[in-house]
Amino acid sequence: MDLATLWHLTTGTLLVAAAMTLWERKAQARRSRELGLWALAYGLFAFGCILAMNRSLLPGVAGPAATNVVMMLGYSLMLQGALALDGHRLHPAFIAGPLAFIGAAWFAVGAGSADLLWNHVSSFPIAVVCALTALALLRSRTARGLRSRPIAVAVFAGHALFYGARAFAVPVLASAYGDAVLSIVASLTMYEAVLFSVAMAMSLLALVREEDHARLLATARTDFLTDLNNRQGFFELAPKRLSQAEKNARHALLAIDLDNFKAINDRYGHEAGDRVLKLFASIAREAAGPDAMSARLGGEEFAILLPNMTGEDARLVGQSIARRFAETAARDDELGIPATVSIGLAEAGSREADLTALLATADRALYQAKMLGRNRVESARPDQAAKAA
């Protein structure tokens, strides 16, 4: 393909990317700012391509200067959108200042060095901003764990490396092998531009869609009242947590039931009952620690998986939860309700433990705790615990 065809292809691709991003923006209200910034950036890139194709029609260095400034504004908005994923932003001065400097540099240097600026010097700011965009995506808390993040990082990092080579390596090659190198680099630049315009838009759209899918999946796995995992989330995520445990490590499971919860609802009302549930969830989450997986299995039934923890340590956790919950519920100004919990403890000795069997064993211990008077922690008997391993 000749350069003119590649310029037109890049322009068309960017306009399609802008349209697709604006369309996606309608369905992604949480990321409307980021998608809006990226769509505007694609539009500016397309406008910059049109300016570049017609830069000779403007007097002096006005054409290439305007092209360079418009393109840099587009790259700056790409960076702004990447930062916005985590709620960060560049101050407008950090965008306007470099753009004003670039525009002034073109007119200060003049037509005599226009080729040097166009072919080499102007590539350096592009490389820097793209490298910062790749870094922002790499460090993004929002994008962490998303499968599309490495692709988006690689797209911007690769673009940064390409323009870094244009700024520093191409001048050396041109001085050694002549201006024919510049013609080859110009063609390579346009081929790379087509690929970049496609990969950039696709990777960022994938990032936003994957984040939205992960959010919906997390919502489906979360109990709306207590913000703990629900039953579905527990049985989907707990086996993965066990598979990540240390080899031959022991782990424990607490099956928990709020004592006489129906009586609490009948006497104090369902609103008070909901506050009791939320209070317990808060205490259990804090007492169990960050490595635990807590879940509301339904009604007043809860479970806490404690990977890499022995039964003795798990018993201490259970006793701490029971004591703190009873004390806090009784003295809470809004509640003042005598609420307690019964807890059954089961322990398994390998990563391959059957979660369903482990929970069933803990449930039997929980039943024993209720039979012995409630407000206590009971451990499964050795013969019961062996069935869960």
Looking at residues 74-91, what average pLDDT do you find? 97
* Calpha distance 24→32 (Å, rounded): 9
- Same domain for 321 and 381, yes or no, is yes
Region 180-187: mean pLDDT is: 91
Q: Supply the range of the domain harboring residue 259.
A: 231-388
Distance between CA atoms of 310 and 214, rounded to whole angstroms?
32
- pLDDT the model gives residue 351: 53
Residue 91: inside a domain: yes
Query: How far apart are the C-alpha atoms of 129 and 76, rounded to whole Å?
Result: 7
- C-alpha Rg value of the chain to the nearest Å: 31
**9-57 confidence digits (pLDDT tens):** 999 999 999 999 999 999 999 999 999 999 999 999 999 999 999 999 9
In order of 3, 119, 189, 311, 321, the CA distances from 184 in angstroms are 11, 12, 9, 69, 70
**Mean pLDDT for the stretch of residues 344-357:** 81
| Residue 384 pLDDT exceeds 60 | no
Phi (first) and psi of residue 221, to 5 degrees? -95, 0
Taking 50 as the threshold, does the pLDDT of residue 104 lie above it?
yes
The band of 244, judged by pLDDT with boundaries at 50, 70 and 90, is confident
Q: Which residue has the tokens 């979360």?
A: 222
**Model confidence, pTM:** 0.81
- The number of angstroms, rounded, from the C-alpha of 32 to the middle of its chain's C-alpha atoms is 16
Note whether 26 and 150 are same-domain residues: yes
User: Is residue 84 in some structural domain?
Assistant: yes
Statement to judge: residues 35 and 132 lie in one domain: yes
Same domain for 199 and 235: no
Q: Are residues 261 and 332 in the same domain?
A: yes
Task: Output the CA angle 87-89-91, nearest 5 degrees.
Answer: 150
Burial of 89 (0-12, 13-18, 19+ CB in 10 A): middle
CA dist 125 and 123 (Å) reads 6
Of the pLDDT bands very low, low, confident and very high (cuts 50, 70, 90), residue 260 is very high
Lookup result for tokens 């991003």: 21
What DSSP assignment string belongs to 223-287? -TTT-SB-HHHHHHHHHHHHHTSPTT--EEEEEEEETTHHHHHHHH-HHHHHHHHHHHHHHHHHH
Task: Report residue 376 as tokens.
Answer: 């206590």
341 part of a folded domain:
yes
Q: Which of 161, 195, 220 is the last residue of a domain?
A: 220
CATH number at residue 69: 1.20.1070
CA dihedral over 204, 207, 213, 219, signed as positive or negative: negative
Q: Are 203 and 151 in contact (CB under 8 A)?
A: yes
79 and 16, same structural domain?
Answer: yes
The mean pLDDT value for 323-339 works out to: 83
One domain, residues 114 and 205: yes
Same domain, 191 and 272: no
Q: 96 is written with which tokens?
A: 């306007």
Residue 97 vs residue 333, higher pLDDT: 97
Q: Which CATH number belongs to the domain containing residue 290 in this structure?
A: 3.30.70.270
Looking up tokens 């950090």 gives 94
Structural domain total, the chain: 2
The pair of structure tokens assigned to 351 is 């990563």
Asked if residue 310 and residue 215 are part of one domain, the reply reads: no
213 in the same domain as 362: no
Mean pLDDT of the chain, nearest integer: 92
Run of H or E residues at 346 = strand 341-348
Cβ atoms of 306 and 254 closer than 8 Å: yes
Phi, psi of 181 (to 5 degrees): -60, -40
What share of the chain in percent tops pLDDT 70? Answer: 96
